[in-house]
Structure 1
Amino acid sequence: MSAALDIIDTKSTRARMLARLRGNANHTSHETPPPSTETLDASIDAHYAAYRPFANDSASELIERFQQMLEAAHAQVIRANASTWAADLAQRLAAAGVRRLLMDRACAEGNALAQALPPGIRACDFAQPIEHWKAELFDTVDAGFTVARSGLAATGTLVVVPDAGSPRTVSLVPPLHVALVHARTLHADLHAAVAAERWRDAMPTNLVMISGPSKTSDIQQTTAYGAHGPRALWVVVIEEEHAQ
């Protein structure tokens, strides 16, 4: 048996590859130039407009669809109005046994909820690096409260933009995540949200999209909740009072 090995001529192989690339470049340089960004945008918009079955849904219909999709993913939806939501949510949290609530009291919604909390629930700010209170955070905080930027009715998805006062940890670590979304910020789907909010002008550097509590499945397709995040998700939808 011969021990000789076939030696690959790397120089020749490289030369052939470069020749092909140059040939393709010369060939495409004479073709029609690619469409402009505006043309592509118009084409994409037309595609979604043609295949979106609920493009003309009313505000109430968007809320209904949003709720149905969230509940199908085992989230709890609480529909409320701007004047009573904080008191109602505070009562629900107390009834659920929440004693420590992680939240950003600097935002208007966080401040309103903090003032409505009963004495038995302590509002906690994320005011220090996680390394300084990791054990306390993981062991004693019962729920986290965030305010979503918007919602997607087609999939029941919350669009959350974390910041210094309400980082991703608030929606990820506590066993219960409570998210508030204003009904006026609901969109039909992701494409509609991107267009309406003009993401192309100021794309957020850190977006979190949430479509239910954390869940995973093993090889037998047995679903378990809370393996990689909160076991429960409450979504408070604030409807405009004149639309009630």
Structure 2
Amino acid sequence: MNARNNILDKLRKSVAGSTPINDNYDISLVTKPWSYAPEERINRLRTLMEAVHTEIHITTQKNWPPLVEQLLHDKQIPSLLIAPNTPHGRQLEAYWNGKAELPSLKAYDRPIEQWKADLFNETPASLTGTLGAITATGSLVLWPDQHEPRLMSLVPPLHIALLHASKIEDNFYTFHEKYKWREGMPTNALLISGPSKTADIEQVLAYGAHGPKDLVVLIIKDA
């Protein structure tokens, strides 16, 4: 018997004949203090995210594409990275179609090895969807996939995120339960509470050191 099996055998013998203690963990300890009325969720999320320099806009399913156009114009952004095989990517392309003098749309439709320099050096902004948000911590939740890889939300200096109001949950536990994380997760999940920031040893705060310098969240109120 090798050392590993010997250790496991001793552990099994040590609990032989014992009775497991019932799990009496009180779920309300991690949910009740962090529960909010539905009408409060947007305001709390907005307050927490704006406190860390996130830009928030309230819009609708119909009006978010022209809002994106206005934001890019105001910020003088020449191009926007999108995922063309997503519903919001297709909606934005349809809105863009036929309009002159708009910023160009870049499609994330190739392996990163084929255009790494362009992504890191020539892509000033991106637009992605979100899985939802957590009210208690003021955090967006992203599940990157083959259509919207995590580099879309981590590399461009400006990240525009679409969030449906109906997908804002109270706390991490309720979010975890709703989306059944225990049954399967992506290889990478992102919880984003604001633009990238860091501070050096003298506590001088700098934005954009490890990710987007600016984060804009468009909260889509569902009809």
- The interval holding the TM-score normalised by the smaller chain is 0.7 to 0.9
Match of 2:170 in 1: 188
Shift of 1:59: 2.2
2:75 is the alignment partner of 1:93 = no
| 1:116 aligns to 2:98 (yes or no) | no
1:139 aligns to 2:126 (yes or no): no
1:90, 1:113 within 8 Å by CA — same for their partners in 2? Answer: no
Please give the alpha-carbon distance, in whole angstroms, between the structure 2 residues aligned to 1:171 and 1:45. 33
Query: What amino acid maps onto 1:30 in structure 2?
Result: G
Point out where structure 2 has 5 or more consecutive residues left out of the alignment: none
The number of aligned residues is 216
- Of 12, 17, 32, the residue aligned with 2:19 is 32
Query: Which residue does 2:111 correspond to in 1?
Result: 129
1:173 match: 155
Per the alignment, residue 9 of structure 1 pairs with none
How far apart, in 2, do the equivalents of 1:81 and 1:60 lie? 16
Q: CA deviation at 1:28?
A: 2.6
Q: Residue 68 of structure 1 aligns with which residue?
A: 47
Query: Do the aligned residues in 1 keep the contact of 2:159 with 2:212 (CA within 8 Å)?
Result: yes
Q: Which runs of 5 or more residues in structure 1 are unaligned?
A: 1-13
Percent identity between the two aligned chains: 33
Q: 2:71 aligns to what SS in structure 1?
A: helix
| Distance apart, 1:167 and its partner CA | 0.4
Q: TM-score, normalised by structure 1?
A: 0.81
Q: C-alpha distance in 2, partners of 1:98/1:221?
A: 31
1:175–1:232 CA contact under 8 A, matched in 2: yes
Which residue type is aligned with residue 99 of structure 1?
P
Compute the displacement of 1:231 (Å).
Answer: 0.3
For the residues of structure 1 that align with 2:92 and 2:212, how far apart are their CA atoms? 20
The partner residue of 1:102 within 75, 81, 86 is 81
**Structure 2 CA distance for aligned equivalents of residues 44 and 75 of structure 1:** 34
Offset of residue 31 of structure 1: 2.5
